[in-house]
Structure 1
């Protein structure tokens, strides 16, 4: 009897698209950070360095989250997806910092961070649904 595949195509598509979007997002944030450091008056260099460190932290957490989510979905294991769900929290907080709490926030940053937050929220919902599908008891055989 063939086994039923539980992996979610929707989750895989979202993670795949987010891997490309986040690459573009990180490059744009780095460019805008360099632009702000060079052209806008900053209260201190430590603030700019802290924002670049936050961007590096976001790169690490988002890269790990995407990798673990895709790996867990394709192997139909719940633990990597669960760790990916947990990594969504610091990733979304770092994105919220870039959106709301930076010293200078450019209009392009508002647009890019908003799209990133929508992707994070939709991936979180689909990941939870995927976990439920993985741990659902199999239907009784006839």
Structure 2
């Protein structure tokens, strides 16, 4: 018998290609987003009168992005590729602080430049689309496991 022949039941592939595409390009976008955000933040720090505590808090949050976002994308990709709903749902859970991050920097930070509105709106869109596709994939994985 040749490899791949004669299996009694073949199982369909359940991974979500749209989710994986958005995770992949979202990761590259996040690199560009973070670099541009730090450059804009440095520009604002030198040119605008920031209250000292606000500047420090917003600066720390920018760096926290580097911890949460790669973890979220890794878990989403791992859950999708291995067809496991656990890592995928944890990725969706980690999307909550990321969405709060983007909304804060869209609406509530001390100074908001137009370029920041554009950057954060694109990032928010990526995150929300990834959440939508992630939840759909997780439901599909759970249903497939239930009826297997």
Global fold match (TM > 0.5): yes
> Does 1:91 pair with 2:98?
yes
**Pairs within 5 Å for 1:32-71:** 32-42=40-50, 44-71=51-78
Which segments of 5 or more consecutive residues in structure 1 lack a partner in the other structure? none
Write the distance in 2 (CA, Å) between the matches of 1:140 and 1:32: 51
CA 1:40 to 1:14, structure 2 compared with 1: closer, same or farther past 3 Å?
A: same
Provide the alpha-carbon RMSD of the alignment: 1.6
Q: Which residue of 1 aligns with 2:143?
A: 136
> Does 1:13 pair with 2:21?
yes
Q: Which residue of 2 aligns with 1:77?
A: 84
- The number of residues matched between the two structures is 140
Write the distance in 1 (CA, Å) between the matches of 2:20 and 2:147: 28
Q: Structure 1 stretches (4+) deviating beyond 2 angstroms?
A: 137-141
Write the distance in 2 (CA, Å) between the matches of 1:70 and 1:118: 18
How far did 1:8 drift?
Answer: 0.5
Write the distance in 2 (CA, Å) between the matches of 1:54 and 1:95: 11
TM-score by length of 2: 0.89
